[in-house]
Structure 1
Amino acid sequence: MGGFGDPAAIGEQVSEFGRLVLAPNPGPMTLDGTNSYVLRAPGAAGCVIVDPGPAIEEHLRLLAAAGPVELVLLTHHHFDHTAGAAWFAELTGAPVRAIDPELCIGADAVVDGERISAAGLELEVWATPGHTADSLSIVLADDGEHGAALTGDTVLGRGTTIIVDPDGALGPYLGSLERLRDFGARGPVSVLTGHGPTLPDLREICEAYLAHRAERLDQVRAALAMIGADASAGAVTDIVYADVDPAVRGAAEASVRAQLRYLREG
């Protein structure tokens, strides 16, 4: 693990305290690949790794070389974020924490509002369910002028995320976006996303996401008015996502199921 040069220079600097290391797993659902993050305060010896990503040896060893690793945090359970976590814990000896206790290794699950001191930083964990039930975001209030937020797949750097019904749900997702938007009211908060580029303004992107969700709900309502209130998710997807790439058709239908559940069940 010593052949990567200066540990503090591994990855791309995307905020005062954060460096991005892109996993080599591009695809229709992962965009350019999964974003793994190395967090540390200037001058701190140790680091925190967020989402070690897939079980790809080259990627995991590169992340390990940024160490010593004090802690691993997982934003949610999807394999493109977590498949390498157990292997990475063996490489580094670092504990792994997440909202789901089954993902944790050598440590307890995190809880909403928990403050963690590690790598010279103060991190706050926010439960931001919706994409999945166990989704979390990590808030760094002192990162840069206005702070930074690591959003996992709750906010992406490009496009919009899916609501993975029934694990995810639209009502909680809208609440998570509103919570993140309100944190962004302090000024332009940097958004360190789970996939795609870093974004400059948390409030702006959350408002755009909320507007997009409202528009989609209107489209679903219009589709139901056209084909019947009891229409299937597949039939609604045919109308609302008529031009969707077949590679992500399943994701589109999952989001429609979540939208229908939201409209029908409240």
Structure 2
Amino acid sequence: MSLVPEGVLLIRADNPGYMTLEGTNTWVLSDGTVIDPGPDDPIHLEAIARAGQIKRILVTHGHPDHVEGVDRLVKMTGAVVGEVPSYLREVKTPGHTADSVCFVSDSAVFTGDTILGRGSSVVAWPDGNVGDYLKSLETLMTFQGVPALPGHGPALPDCAQAARWLHGHRLERLEQVKAALAQGAKTPQEVVDMVYADVDPALKWAAEWSVRAQLDYLT
């Protein structure tokens, strides 16, 4: 059974990677609303344009893998950027980035990178903020039983459940950072080596982002 509600189409960009998982998820709604056009990839954008009459474009945050394609898609379709339809509520969810938002309908929460379909989101220091992220997750815990349609990875059955897990995971990481400092870690790199020892070396830079954000929060 698909977790994607009727009237919502997933078009995934061909930009897989460590940070993008299978690729950026572009969500196209039956009324012509596009959420996160993704990269400036003509093939991807043409697939979006073919999905129906595109009327408006919304973005969950300003990272390039979500917004690079906006200008080209506007030229292709004449769509308006930022016009939120009446049935879709914009909820500010800073933390991953300062400008992060989610879009909420009766049938789904479009979570961008605040909640991913797999794993945990990076708090993108210095723009991201751990305290804001924890509060945003508390907000998303209120959407019990509503599917989360993320910016990367598969759809999740329950936004509230995912938000609770991420909230607990983030608090656990903070305790691990405190322990690393108590054991003598002096620099973000030393904290990364102690707390994120099992992380793929290719992702150590992202772990350092999160550690710097965690240190800011703790101090």
TM-score tier, shorter chain, comes to over 0.9
Preserved contact between residue 15 and residue 23 of structure 2 (Cα < 8 Å)? yes
Structure 1: unaligned runs, 5 residues or longer: 1-11, 41-45, 98-106, 108-114
Matched, 1:116 2:73: no
The separation in 2 between residues aligned to 1:259 and 1:19, in whole angstroms, is 36
The separation in 1 between residues aligned to 2:133 and 2:8, in whole angstroms, is 25
Preserved contact between residue 97 and residue 123 of structure 2 (Cα < 8 Å)? yes
- Counterparts of 1:30-179 in structure 2 under 5 Å? 30-40=20-30, 46-97=31-82, 116-117=85-86, 122-141=87-106, 143=107, 148-179=108-139
The counterpart of 1:254, out of the listed 202, 209, 214, is 209
SS in 2 for 1:21: strand
SS in 1 for 2:122: coil
The separation in 1 between residues aligned to 2:139 and 2:99, in whole angstroms, is 16
Preserved contact between residue 16 and residue 22 of structure 2 (Cα < 8 Å)? yes
Aligned positions, number? 218
Preserved contact between residue 163 and residue 170 of structure 1 (Cα < 8 Å)? yes
The separation in 1 between residues aligned to 2:113 and 2:205, in whole angstroms, is 17
Deviation of 1:16 (Å) = 2.3
Deviation string for 1:94-141 (max 9, x for gaps)? 0112xxxxxxxxx7xxxxxxx623xxxx10001100000000000002
Greater relative contact order: 1 or 2 (C-alpha under 8 angstroms, separation 6 or more)?
2
* Structure with larger Rg: 1
- 2:21 maps to amino acid: L
The separation in 1 between residues aligned to 2:96 and 2:6, in whole angstroms, is 27
The separation in 2 between residues aligned to 1:80 and 1:168, in whole angstroms, is 17
The separation in 1 between residues aligned to 2:151 and 2:42, in whole angstroms, is 20
Matched, 1:198 2:158: no
Matched, 1:210 2:167: yes
The separation in 2 between residues aligned to 1:241 and 1:259, in whole angstroms, is 13
Counterpart residue number, 1:26: 16
Deviation of 1:13 (Å) = 7.8
Deviation of 1:19 (Å) = 1.3
Identity rate, percent: 49
Preserved contact between residue 13 and residue 20 of structure 1 (Cα < 8 Å)? no
List, as ranges, runs of 4+ consecutive aligned residues in structure 1 with deviation greater than 2 Å. Answer: none
Structure 2: unaligned runs, 5 residues or longer: none
SS in 2 for 1:183: coil
- TM-score normalized by structure 2? 0.96
Q: Aligned-residue CA RMSD in angstroms?
A: 1.4
